[in-house]
Structure 1
Amino acid sequence: MQIDHDDDDPLPCHEHDYCVSNEPAALDLSLNENEELREEISRLRKQIEDLTVRSKFCLERFSASDDDIRFFTRFANHAHLMGFWKQIEPATHIIIRVTSARTVEKTDQVPHSASTTVLQAIDEIFLFMYYPSLGLMQKDLAHRFRIHRSTVSRINTWANFLYTVLGAVYVWLDVDTVKTHLPDVFQDYADTQIILDSTELRCQTPNSLLLQSEVFSTYKSHCTFKWLLGIAPHGAVTFVSSLYQGAISDKEILKQSGIVALLDPSMAIMVDKGFLVEDCVPCKVHIPTFLSKRAQLSRSEIRTSQSIARLRVHVERVIRRVKEHKIFSTVIPLSITGSINQIFTVACLLVNYQNGPLVKAWANNG
Structure 2
Amino acid sequence: MQPADNPQSEDISGNGTLDYQGYADAGCQTELTMDDIEKMEDVLRQNTTELGDLRTKALDTQFNQESFEKNEEKTKFYTGLPNFLVLIQMFELCEPYITCGPMSVLSKFEQLVLVLLRLRLNLPLKDLAFRFKISVPTASRVWHKIIDILHARLEFQIEWPERHVLQATMPMGFRQSFGRRVAVIIDCFEVFIERPSNLLAQAQTWSNYKHHHIVKFLIGIAPQGYVTYISCAWGGRVSDKQITIESGLLKNLLPGDVVLADRGFNIGDIVGFYCASVQIPAFTKGRKQLSAYEVAETRKIANLRIHVERVIGLVRRKYQILQSRAMPIENMATKSGEALALMDKIGVICCVLSNLSESVVPLE
TM exceeding 0.5: yes
| Structure 1, unpaired ranges of 5+ | 1-9, 27-35, 96-111
> Do structure 1's residue 175 and structure 2's residue 175 form an aligned pair?
no
Distance (whole Å) between structure 2 residues aligned to residue 277 and residue 24 of structure 1: 102
Cα separation, 1, equivalents of 2:313 and 2:90: 26
1:1-366 equivalences under 5 Å are: 13-15=16-18, 49-50=55-56, 52-58=58-64, 60-61=66-67, 63-76=69-82, 80-95=83-98, 112-153=99-140, 154-169=142-157, 171-187=159-175, 188-190=177-179, 191-281=181-271, 282=274, 283-324=276-317, 325-329=319-323, 330-337=325-332, 338-353=341-356, 355-359=357-361, 361-362=362-363
Partner Cα separation in structure 2 for residue 58 and residue 145 of structure 1 = 10
1:69–1:56 CA distance, 2 compared to 1 (3 A): closer
1:50/1:67 CA distance change after superposition, 3 Å:
closer
Structure-2 change in CA distance of 1:55 and 1:244 (3 Å): closer
- Per-residue deviation, 1:290: 0.8
3-state SS, counterpart of residue 195 of structure 1? strand
Q: Distance in 2 between matches of 1:55 and 1:136?
A: 16
Residues 52-99 of structure 1: CA deviation (Å, up to 9, x unaligned): 5355344644555444333221123xxx2432432451442124xxxx
- Which residue number in structure 2 is paired with residue 5 of structure 1? none
RMSD: 3.1
* Map of 2:34 onto structure 1: none
String of CA shifts for 1:90-142, please: whole Å, max 9, x gaps: 442124xxxxxxxxxxxxxxxx1342532222222221111122112100111
* Rounded Cα–Cα distance in structure 2 between residues aligned with 1:24 and 1:85: 62
Query: What's the counterpart of residue 100 of structure 1?
Result: none
The whole-number CA distance in structure 2 between the counterparts of 1:303 and 1:233 is: 20
d(CA) in 1 for partners of 2:110 and 2:263? 44
Shift of 1:235: 0.3
Scaled by the length of structure 2, the TM-score of the pair is 0.78
Residues 135/168 of structure 1: CA separation in 2 closer, same or farther (3 Å cut): same
Amino acid aligned to 1:171: E
1:30-58 CA distances to partner (integer Å, 9 max, x unpaired)? xxxxxx9xx99998986785465355344
Single out whichever of 116-125 and 253-262 deviates more from structure 2. Answer: 116-125
- What is the one-letter code of the residue matched to 1:121? K
- Runs (5+) with no aligned partner, structure 2: 1-12, 29-40, 333-340
Equivalent residue letter for 1:124: Q
| Count of residue pairs brought into register by the alignment | 322
Contact 2:158 2:229 in 1 (8 A): no
Query: Is the CA contact (8 Å cut-off) linking 1:227 and 1:240 kept in structure 2?
Result: yes
Q: Does the 8 A contact of 1:175 with 1:267 survive in 2?
A: no
Secondary structure, aligned partner of 1:227: strand
Aligned to 1:358, what secondary structure does the other structure show?
coil
**3-state DSSP of counterpart to 1:193:** strand
Q: Which amino acid aligns with 1:82?
A: L
- 1:12 & 1:309 partners in 2: Cα distance? 112
Measure how far apart 1:12 and its partner are: 6.3
Q: Share of identical aligned residues, percent?
A: 28
Distance 1:260 1:51, change over 3 A: closer
- CA apart distance, 1:312: 0.4
Partner of 1:106: none
Q: Is the 8 A contact 1:193 1:232 kept in 2?
A: yes
Against the structure 1 CA distance between its residues 216 and 14, is the aligned structure 2 distance closer, same or farther, given a 3 Å change threshold?
Answer: same
For residues 150 and 131 of structure 1, what CA distance do their matches in structure 2 show?
15
Residues 214-223 or 336-345, more deviating: 336-345
> Offset of 1:263 from its aligned partner?
0.8
Q: Tell me the TM-score normalized by structure 1.
A: 0.78
